[in-house]
């Protein structure tokens, strides 16, 4: 398949791994910021091809994983309201809130439906004028344009029974929060190519300059990731700190102006709490005042979300790059994909889910030793 097979070429992967080994003289810790990249690294064993001096750690690049439990609690409360259809992408249904998840809410009689686009939720609102339809709008900058379009479409059609529960978060503020933490280990970033395809690269330059770290925009296949890592290591070895675009086939420096315009017309930047990371100023999106009629918490007068204690889940330490999933004492025992303690074990992009699927046997063996 074009643009897939050639980026999984084993010979080219080995060539890039050898180039990284030749370029490495120091000890470096690099964080990939996207859950899709994490899964590729673990699935294809890319970290096992690297020299001992390089450590890859996994960032908060899974939108499901960073959605705070208090917003899931709000989604559950909406799902259990009579006359409400709660729409969500499938990977949100089993993420635990403070009490239950959306799948349990569905089992208790809530009308919870899996959709594949926010416009599917708009279509449901159109088809069921006597019901309230709420879409759980979760994601980074990548899904924000489609969710903005859904609000605009409902507005154009005059659909007054459609609203969204917004849980949008922004990547650059999270990167700053990680780099500013006292236990930070990260010396370079592999930035998420799909986020930059929408938003561009301008926001990363000040981060690279302020914290003196290289940031390389990278794709999601093995060759993409190793090419990005090679560029990052070369900068680290040379004492450089700039933004590089190693995903030029999909990313332009200016991003996608049309998509950005959609986002800016419907959303505004707000403070946001992240699961495992806590509150991060100016790190999320909320509806503009002119679209407040589509804001589900306001429409249904939901009580303010209250942050809950994460329990024994160490997802915050994992998403800050402080620990790996198998260093959690509950990994693979009390916490499994069937019975997750935290979102990173149940999400299709979660680091814990990746390790459990591709490295579970190794992790258990290491723990036994």
Asked if 349 contacts 63 with a C-beta cutoff of 8 angstroms, the reply is yes
Given this model, what pLDDT does residue 306 score? 61
Query: pTM for the whole thing?
Result: 0.90
What DSSP state is assigned to residue 304? P
Interatomic CA distance for residues 59 and 189, integer angstroms: 9
Mean pLDDT of all residues in 311-336 = 87
Interatomic CA distance for residues 209 and 182, integer angstroms: 19
Same fold for the pair 5-62+178-245 and 64-170+255-299: yes
Mean of the per-residue pLDDT values of the chain: 91
**Which residues partner with 137 through β-bridges?**
166
Mean pLDDT of all residues in 319-347 = 86
Place of tokens 């917003």: 71
Task: Please enumerate in sequence order all residues whose Cβ is within 8 A of that of 12, keeping only pairs 6 or more positions apart, or say none.
Answer: 223
Write down the architecture of domain 64-170+255-299 according to CATH.
3-Layer(aba) Sandwich (3.40)
> Measured between alpha carbons, how far is residue 281 from residues 55, 81, 172, 274, 284 in Å?
29, 31, 11, 10, 8
Every domain of the chain and the residues it spans: 5-62+178-245, 64-170+255-299, 315-368
> Measured between alpha carbons, how far is residue 196 from residues 33, 166, 224, 234 in Å?
12, 21, 15, 22
Mean pLDDT of all residues in 280-305 = 93
Cα angle 33-34-35, degrees, rounded to a multiple of 5: 130
b/e code 101-122 from CB counts within 10 Å (16+ = b): bbebbbeeebbbbebebbbebb
Given this model, what pLDDT does residue 369 score? 36
Q: Is the pLDDT at 368 greater than 60, yes or no?
A: no
Chain segment 116-139, per-residue pLDDT in tens: 999 999 999 999 999 999 999 999
Residues above pLDDT 70, as percent of the chain: 95
Place of tokens 């903005």: 148
Task: Please enumerate in sequence order all residues whose Cβ is within 8 A of that of 21, keeping only pairs 6 or more positions apart, or say none.
Answer: 50, 51
Asked if 251 contacts 245 with a C-beta cutoff of 8 angstroms, the reply is yes
Given this model, what pLDDT does residue 321 score? 86
Given this model, what pLDDT does residue 307 score? 58
Q: Is the pLDDT at 68 greater than 70, yes or no?
A: yes
b/e code 341-367 from CB counts within 10 Å (16+ = b): bbbbbbbbbbbbbbbbebbbeebeeee
Per mean pLDDT, which range of 33-37, 168-172, 284-288 is the poorest?
33-37
Residue ranges of the alpha helices (H) in the chain? 10-23, 35-44, 63-66, 69-79, 102-107, 118-127, 144-157, 171-180, 193-199, 204-211, 222-238, 257-266, 296-299, 315-319, 343-346, 351-358, 360-368
**Fold classification of 5-62+178-245 (topology level):** Rossmann fold (3.40.50)
Mean pLDDT of all residues in 272-292 = 93
**Which residues partner with 104 through β-bridges?**
none
* Between 65 and 140, residue with greater pLDDT: 140
Given this model, what pLDDT does residue 305 score? 59
* Between 369 and 273, residue with greater pLDDT: 273
Given this model, what pLDDT does residue 238 score? 98
SS (H, E, C) 161-199: CEEEEEEEECHHHHHHHHHHCCCCCCCEEEEEHHHHHHH
**Nearest Cα residue to 190 out of 228, 156, 152, 153:** 228
Q: Is the pLDDT at 101 greater than 70, yes or no?
A: yes
Mean pLDDT of all residues in 236-263 = 96
Q: Which helix (H) or strand (E) holds 270?
A: strand 267-274
Task: Give the largest CA-CA distance in the chain.
Answer: 66
């Amino acid at each position: 398949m074009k643009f897939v097979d050639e980026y999984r070429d084993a010979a080219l992967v080995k060539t890039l791994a050898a180039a990284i080994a030749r370029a490495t003289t120091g000890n470096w810790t690099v964080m990939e910021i996207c859950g899709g990249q994490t899964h590729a690294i673990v699935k294809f064993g890319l970290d096992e091809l690297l020299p001992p001096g390089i450590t890859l750690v996994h960032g908060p690049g899974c939108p499901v994983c960073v959605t705070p439990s208090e917003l899931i609690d709000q989604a559950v409360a909406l799902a259990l309201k009579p006359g409400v259809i709660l729409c969500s992408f499938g990977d949100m249904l089993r993420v635990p809130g403070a009490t239950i998840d959306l799948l349990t809410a569905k089992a208790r009689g809530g009308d919870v439906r899996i959709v594949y686009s926010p416009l599917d939720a708009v279509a449901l609102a159109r088809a069921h004028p006597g019901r309230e339809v709420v879409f759980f709008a979760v994601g980074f900058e990548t899904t924000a344009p489609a969710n903005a379009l859904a609000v605009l479409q409902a507005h154009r059609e005059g659909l007054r029974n459609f609203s969204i529960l917004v849980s949008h978060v922004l990547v650059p503020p999270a990167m700053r929060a990680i780099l500013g933490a006292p236990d930070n280990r990260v010396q370079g970033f592999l930035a998420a190519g799909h986020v930059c395809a929408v938003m561009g690269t301008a926001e990363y330059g000040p981060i690279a300059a302020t914290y003196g770290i290289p940031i390389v925009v990278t794709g999601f296949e093995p060759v993409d990731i190793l090419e990005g890592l090679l560029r990052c290591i070369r900068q680290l070895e040379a004492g450089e700190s700039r933004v590089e675009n190693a995903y030029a086939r999909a990313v332009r420096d200016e991003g996608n102006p049309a998509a950005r315009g959609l986002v800016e017309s419907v959303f505004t930047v707000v403070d946001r709490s992240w699961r495992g990371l806590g509150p991060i100023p100016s790190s999320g999106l909320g509806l503009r005042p002119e679209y407040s009629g589509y804001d589900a918490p306001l429409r249904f007068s939901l009580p303010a979300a209250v942050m809950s204690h994460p329990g024994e889940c160490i997802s915050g330490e994992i998403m800050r790059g402080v620990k790996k999933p198998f260093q959690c004492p509950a990994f693979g025992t009390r916490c499994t994909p069937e019975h997750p303690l935290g979102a990173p074990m149940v999400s299709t992009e979660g680091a814990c889910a990746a390790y459990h699927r591709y490295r579970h046997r190794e992790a258990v063996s290491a723990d036994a030793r």
